[in-house]
Amino acid sequence: MEISDESVHATPTESAFELEVRAVFQDTLGLIHIALVAHYGMLDSEANELEKDLYLWFVRFCMRPGSGNPKESRSFLLVACCQFAREYQKYVIGSGLRDSNRETAKILDREPGDVARDFTKSLDLLKFRHHPDA
């Protein structure tokens, strides 16, 4: 899965750091998309647009002074994903554009950090399963 926006594709002037930020985002994008569509109930088109915004946020976040390396910031990316999705769905449901269902209401009642922690556990399990020594 890849974001179809020019801002995510490599350019000849990208630094090694910018390439690493993009690589970490791309590696996490499958989990982000699952979170947005399967758990938060967003449409694919909505998720794709939110992913673009989330990528731009992650680039700026990683470039802040004092930020760790992008891999260490992956957990913040997942929290931001859950926060973006939660606020978007609350707006859409609250404005009457979409009906809520039990599963969506349940996840919207949880704190984004708690939901992101669950996704991080899934990511850790996936990394463990793909580790050559496992």
Q: How many domains does the chain have?
A: 1
What pLDDT does 3 receive? 56
pLDDT reported for residue 60: 95
pLDDT value of residue 133:
57
Of the candidates 84, 77, 76, 6, the one whose C-alpha atom is nearest the C-alpha of residue 42 is 84
Contact of 8 with 2, CB cutoff 8 Å: yes
Q: CA Rg, the chain, in Å?
A: 16
111 found inside a domain? yes
Q: What is the pLDDT of residue 8?
A: 54
Amino acid symbol at 59: V
Residue 83 domain flag: yes
Q: And the tokens for 70?
A: 């992008």
- Residue 28 belongs to a domain: yes
Which pLDDT does position 11 carry in this prediction?
59
Indicate whether 24 belongs to any domain. Answer: yes
* Residue 74 included in any domain: yes
Burial of 59 (0-12, 13-18, 19+ CB in 10 A): middle
- pLDDT for 120 equals 79
Question: 31 is in which domain, residue-wise?
Answer: 14-130
Residue 15 CA to residue 13 CA, distance in Å, equals 6
pLDDT for res 119: 81
Give yes or no for a contact between 67 and 131, defined as CB atoms under 8 angstroms apart: no
Evaluate whether residue 5 is within a structural domain. Answer: no
Amino acid 123: pLDDT: 65
What is this structure's pTM? 0.80
Mean pLDDT, consecutive 10-residue stretches, the chain (134 aa), reads 51 81 94 93 96 97 91 93 96 92 91 90 61 54
Q: Is residue 90 part of a domain?
A: yes
Paired tokens of 92: 């859409």
In a domain, 7, yes or no: no
